[in-house]
Amino acid sequence: ISIVVKLYMYFYNNGTGEKISSAAMKAVALDSFTDSIATLVVLACALISHYTGLMIDGWCGLAVSAFVLYAGFSAAKDTIDPLLGSKPSKEYVETIEKFVTSYDDVIGIHDLVIHDYGPGRTMISLHAEVPADRNIIDVHDTIDNIERRINATLGCSCVIIRIRLS
């Protein structure tokens, strides 16, 4: 019964973790899965010992320990990465660059910094290069509009610092 319940918990928590993109829920799911595997191994060893007389529980315990350690390190890494900030994908960086430079008032960007702390917790800052001959009020409005559109489109918090070119 314990194995079946833990497998149910694994599938439920893993599904929830996928839906809400939560590394913590996926870690809970992995914990349930390792519990079900450990219980299954204990049950199998007890049955094998009872019917064959082979004492393999020590070796099986060692294998389960290795599996649990691996799963624990994997879950810890997946849970800690969003807390410390993970490196953005090259495609995400290119999307931001293309988005910002698609406006006429922006010639280029530099000093792009992306802090990704998980879904809905991404912070972006960058310097936008703008022509020196443009009206600063108009450029400011364009930059504000870019920030709002990036925030709405990519679901992040974006700050653009304007740099004038001469």
- Reading the chain (166 residues) residue by residue, the pLDDT tens digits are 989 999 999 999 999 988 987 777 888 898 899 899 889 998 998 899 889 988 888 888 888 888 888 888 887 877 777 677 667 788 989 999 999 999 888 888 988 988 877 667 788 999 999 988 888 888 889 999 999 999 898 888 889 887 767 5
Q: Is 146 exposed, middle or buried (0-12, 13-18, 19+ CB in 10 A)?
A: buried
The torsion angles phi and psi of 134, rounded to 5 degrees, stand at -90, 155
Q: What is the pLDDT of residue 55?
A: 86
Q: What is the pLDDT of residue 127?
A: 93
Q: How far apart are CA 131 and CA 107, in angstroms?
A: 7
Contacts of 107 (CB under 8 A, 6+ apart): 101, 129, 130, 131, 165
Q: Which of 30, 37, 40 is nearest to 9 (CA)?
A: 30
Q: How far apart are CA 61 and CA 42, in angstroms?
A: 8
pTM > 0.85: yes or no: no
